[in-house]
Amino acid sequence: MRLTVFCVLMGVLVLAACATATPTPTLAPAPKIAVEGMWGRPSPKIAQAGAFYMVIRNTGAAADKLTAARSSACTTVELHESYQMSNGTMGMRPVTGGTIEIPANGQVELKVGGLHIMCIDKKVEFNNGVKLPLTLVFAKSGEINVQVEIREQGM
Amino acid sequence: MILLGAAVLLVGRWLTPHTFHGAILQSPLPAQDFSLMSHVGQRVALSDLRGKIVLLYFGYTICPDVCPTTLAELAQARKLLGRDADQVQVLMITVDPERDTIPVLADYVVHFSSTFLGLRGTPDETAQVATYYGIYYEKHDSDSALGYLVDHTATVMVIDRNGYLRLVFPFGTPAEDMASDLQYLLRK
């Protein structure tokens, strides 16, 4: 009898402990970032800079921001965008605000003639088939390491 | 692959009337002649190239997105022409003569094709040639480690074998479309 009461009491205690140990599920939405299709074009050794392209997907319910990037293959990495003006004129500039917004449940394509990551003062040759390390820094998701393949487009 | 591409272009030409991909100049004008220093260390005049189709592009080597994309597409378009590639000369005139010295240009253009010619004028010569072809270019300061950047018209001008300005390819015209138009101009 005593044993049974003890067991029941223990059981209740364990259940109670479990209930309090389980944290209430957080309701704050979070971004969920995936990066794919990383590539860059082979470029002449003399060319000071090379562009990296990719698709950044966010399947999370909160937006995130790409704030910076770095690579051992580049002295400096910057976030840039090419833009079209009238009469077929193109220009290029560092992205406004220095960051690229990745919308919740959305994606941003870094592509030729648009947003791109620029590798300045290349430390290695951008030859066909080479894979370069790149670290992307997001405001909420932290750092994500990817590899950028150097190849001709469309292959 | 290249042969197949050329064959497809050829068959396509026989089957349907040609539709240009580039913007056509309805009343082609004689392309204004000019002479600039080339990356091989000799001056090249546009008129020296009469008999070939000339693809004229204005760009600069520090441009990492638009310029290498266009030059790679031009190289691919030439490859698609197969044997006729010899009839097509690509010229890149730098809009950044200050930083694009002859040795820089030489290393740069040859990466895309050993047949391309890089041309560099003095600032005045460059401005003059750009005016002939309605090319806008302007330096602007930037926060980038690259220093100043140059906005520039990113179209490719097509000068036919008789020296007439015939077509303009906007930025982003695929190599296949350019090759198709060039094939037509070469056969005419």
ipTM: 0.85
Q: A47 to each of A17, A44, A81, B60, B104, how far by Cα in Å? A: 64, 5, 18, 10, 8
Interface check for B188 against chain A (CB to CB < 8 A): the answer is no
Q: What is the pLDDT of residue B12?
A: 57
Which of A83-87, B36-40, B77-81 shows the lowest mean pLDDT across its residues? A83-87
8 Å CB contact of B145 and A85: no
User: Looking at the partner chain, which of B69, B142, B152 has a beta carbon nearest the beta carbon of A94?
Assistant: B142
Element (H, E) at A112: none
8 Å CB contact of A48 and B146: yes
Interface check for B63 against chain A (CB to CB < 8 A): the answer is yes
What is the domain extent for residue B137?
A: 2-187
Binned at pLDDT 50, 70 and 90, residue A24 comes out as low
Interface check for B151 against chain A (CB to CB < 8 A): the answer is yes
Average pLDDT on A94-122 reads 96
Q: B122 to each of B119, B150, B154, how far by Cα in Å? A: 10, 16, 20
pLDDT in tens, A116-139: 999 999 999 999 999 999 999 999
Q: What is the pLDDT of residue A88?
A: 84
Task: Report the domain count for chain B.
Answer: 1
Q: What is the pLDDT of residue A114?
A: 96
User: Looking at the partner chain, which of A47, A75, A93 has a beta carbon nearest the beta carbon of B64?
Assistant: A47
Q: What is the pLDDT of residue B11?
A: 60
Q: What is the pLDDT of residue B52?
A: 98
Q: What is the pLDDT of residue B173?
A: 96
Interface check for B146 against chain A (CB to CB < 8 A): the answer is yes
Q: With a cut of 90, say whether residue A19 has pLDDT above it.
A: no
CATH of A33-150 given 2.30.31.10, 3.30.1490.20, 1.10.760.10, 2.60.40.1890: 2.60.40.1890
Average pLDDT on A6-23 reads 50
Question: For chain A, what is the mean pLDDT?
Answer: 87
Q: What is the CATH number of the domain that holds B110?
A: 3.40.30.10
Q: B72 to chain A: which residues are within 8 Å by CB?
A: 41, 152-153
The percentage of residues in chain A with a pLDDT greater than 90, rounded to a whole number, is 75
DSSP A24: P
Interface check for A155 against chain B (CB to CB < 8 A): the answer is no
User: Looking at the partner chain, which of B112, B146, B171 has a beta carbon nearest the beta carbon of A88?
Assistant: B171
